[in-house]
């Protein structure tokens, strides 16, 4: 439809200006009954979310959206809420539709929603349509095939149990997130159309000091820059320039390999002192700290603040000071070592090409694998031992003050089988206690559950 007409213009000498005799009907010439424009929208059917094998994690549209697996990976899948007033173009909101408000539903909203169709018309004074001026066809949403695996997710959640915190299972060679476990799970079926729900995914957005799990980064940096070798002699006094060993343990002169195996804080403080702030911060960034994860992952940024003094450097090297990280980030740290020193960007959607970048040399990664294997075979991580499977791992016990009381987050990061890694895992038990006593057995149980399920 073309709207055509003419405008009469009059020149006013006194004001030296041209004027137009304006009437509202000039907006729609040739349609005398018209009183207003009207735009209506039609939403296409929302596309499903699938796991890596094609199982439907979310299906249906609008208020009829359903999540067949209930709370399984619920916080990661996300939920739908009424479209906000700021919705792009207002189309979804004006059509009375729902929009992705959290998790994958929110991150991939444009893809899942598709493009609404629209009709521009004129209406009369009673708001009855008089004539259609134009139509724009919509486009359906596109299904999202995720990296998640329902079977791996179920096994990981079952092993994690009622622990408070989070766990992540990653495929080292691709960066694919196979399972994301967060305590306080939600069932998205209960939140369809709820506007004030804000699910918190501890595995992706929870920020915790990593404690000695950070030593994987520090040791990798020191080995890669030739500051130490596994045989380099270091000392482990009970205290060194303000840094203390866990439970005030005292070690004599030991090779660096033993400092890793038994997580000797004071030995690492001396290594960090020799390594320096700039190299350690640079390696932390290579491992994923201080830069946001891909938008499609919807995770918090882990931070390793630049150490301005020796005290901050030494404590930061063992995952204290102001260092904060997510279980996702620590899973990628373990996965980097497992993948011969190449860090793959974490990925939640299949169809996107995996992206990776070398962090440390192959030789450093091989050495770290041996050192982390020794942690499980006879060090602080024996609780992660699995009969017939070599596990490479590192414990972490991160000290925090809660209302003046000293408490610990328990960490364990690992990969298995050590010689041909299939998965990397990070586990944090929030205020759970000692890493080797709490998190290592949790990681063991997760590995035992998921290893038979992955190729």
pLDDT digits (tens, 9 = 90+) for 244-281: 998 778 999 999 999 999 999 999 999 999 999 999 99
Q: Say which residue, 390 or 114, is predicted with more confidence.
A: 390
**87 or 243, which is more confident?**
243
Q: Let me know if the fold of 9-109+118-145 is the same as that of 150-453.
A: no
Residue 56: its H or E element: strand 56-58
Tell me the catalytic residues.
212
Average pLDDT score, the chain:
93
The Cα-based distances of 415 to 151, 277, 323, 370, 385 in angstroms read 19, 28, 23, 12, 12
pLDDT over 70 at 86, yes or no:
no
Helix (H/G/I), strand (E/B), else coil: 383: helix
With a pLDDT cut of 70, the percent of the chain lying above it is 96
Query: Which of 30-34, 64-68, 138-142 tops mean pLDDT?
Result: 64-68
pLDDT above 80 (res 92): no
Mean pLDDT over residues 355-384, rounded?
98
State the Cα–Cα distance between residues 6 and 316, nearest whole angstrom: 75
- Residue 85: pLDDT above 80? no
CB-count exposure of residue 62 (10 Å: 0-12, 13-18, 19+):
middle
What's this model's pTM, rounded to 2 decimal places? 0.90
Confidence band of 41 (pLDDT split at 50, 70, 90): confident
Instruction: Write out the E strands in 281-364.
Output: 342-344, 356-358
Where residue 96 falls among pLDDT bands split at 50, 70, 90?
Answer: low
Three-state DSSP at 382 gives helix
The pLDDT of 15-21, averaged and rounded, is: 79
Instruction: List the alpha helices (DSSP H) in 194-234.
Output: 202-205, 215-224
The architecture (CATH level 2) of 9-109+118-145 comes to Alpha-Beta Complex (3.90)
What distance in Å separates the CA atoms of residue 86 and residue 79, rounded to the nearest whole number? 18
Dihedral (CA of 107, 299, 301, 344) sign: negative
Helix axes 215-224, 362-378, angle to 10 degrees: 140
Burial class of residue 71 in the structure, from the number of CB atoms within 10 Å of its CB (0-12 exposed, 13-18 middle, 19+ buried): middle
Domain boundaries, the chain: 9-109+118-145, 150-453
154 forms bridges with which residues in the sheet? none
pLDDT of 89 strictly over 50: no
From the candidate CATH numbers 1.10.510.10, 3.40.50.1100, 3.40.710.10, 3.30.300.30, the one assigned to the domain spanning 150-453: 3.40.710.10
Distance CA 206, CA 300 (A): 7
Give the C-alpha separation, 397 to 438, whole Å.
10
Per-residue confidence (pLDDT) for residue 5, from 0 to 100: 66
User: Which residue's entry shows tokens 């000039």?
Assistant: 26
Q: Is the peptide bond before 417 cis (omega within 30 degrees of 0)?
A: yes
SS3 call for 293: coil
């Amino acid at each position: 439809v073309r709207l055509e007409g003419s405008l009469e213009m009059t020149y006013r000498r006194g004001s030296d200006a041209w004027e137009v005799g304006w009437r509202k009907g000039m907006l729609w010439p040739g349609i005398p009954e018209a009183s207003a424009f009207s735009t209506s929208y039609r939403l296409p059917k929302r596309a499903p979310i699938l796991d890596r094998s094609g199982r439907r994690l979310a299906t249906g549209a609008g208020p009829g959206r359903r999540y067949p697996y209930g709370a399984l990976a619920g916080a990661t899948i996300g939920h739908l809420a009424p479209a906000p007033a700021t919705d792009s173009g207002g189309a979804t909101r004006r059509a009375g539709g729902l929009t992705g408000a959290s998790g994958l539903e929110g991150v991939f909203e444009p893809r899942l929603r598709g493009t609404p169709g629209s009709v521009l018309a004129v209406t009369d004074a009673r708001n009855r349509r008089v004539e259609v001026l134009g139509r724009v066809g919509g486009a359906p949403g596109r299904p999202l095939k995720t990296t998640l695996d329902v079977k791996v997710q179920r096994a990981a959640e079952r092993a994690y149990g009622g622990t408070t915190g989070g766990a992540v299972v990653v495929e080292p060679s691709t960066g694919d997130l196979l399972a994301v476990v967060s305590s306080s799970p939600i069932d998205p079926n209960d939140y369809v159309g709820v506007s004030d729900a804000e699910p918190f995914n501890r595995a992706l957005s929870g920020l915790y000091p990593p404690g000695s799990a950070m030593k994987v980064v520090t040791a990798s940096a020191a080995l890669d820059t030739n500051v130490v070798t596994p045989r380099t002699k270091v000392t482990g006094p009970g205290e060194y320039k303000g840094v203390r060993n866990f439970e005030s343990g005292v070690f004599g002169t030991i090779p660096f390999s033993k400092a890793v195996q038994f997580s000797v804080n004071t030995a690492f403080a001396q290594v960090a002192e020799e390594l320096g702030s700039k190299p350690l911060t640079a390696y932390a960034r290579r491992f994923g700290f201080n830069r946001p994860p891909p938008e499609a992952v919807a995770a918090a940024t882990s931070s390793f603040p630049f150490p301005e003094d020796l005290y901050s450097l030494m404590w930061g090297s063992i995952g204290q000071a102001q260092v904060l990280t997510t279980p996702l980030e620590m899973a990628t740290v373990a996965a980097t070592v497992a993948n011969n020193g190449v860090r793959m960007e974490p990925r939640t959607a299949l169809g996107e090409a995996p992206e990776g970048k070398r962090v440390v040399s192959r030789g450093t990664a091989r050495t770290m694998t041996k050192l982390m294997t020794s942690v499980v075979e006879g060090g602080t991580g024996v609780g992660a031992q699995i009969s017939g499977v070599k596990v490479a791992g590192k414990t972490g016990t991160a000290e925090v003050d809660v209302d003046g009381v000293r408490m610990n987050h328990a960490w364990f990061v690992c990969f298995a089988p050590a010689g041909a890694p299939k998965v990397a895992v990070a586990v944090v038990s929030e205020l759970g206690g000692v890493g080797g006593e709490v998190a290592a057995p949790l990681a063991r149980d997760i590995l035992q559950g998921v290893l038979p399920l992955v190729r």
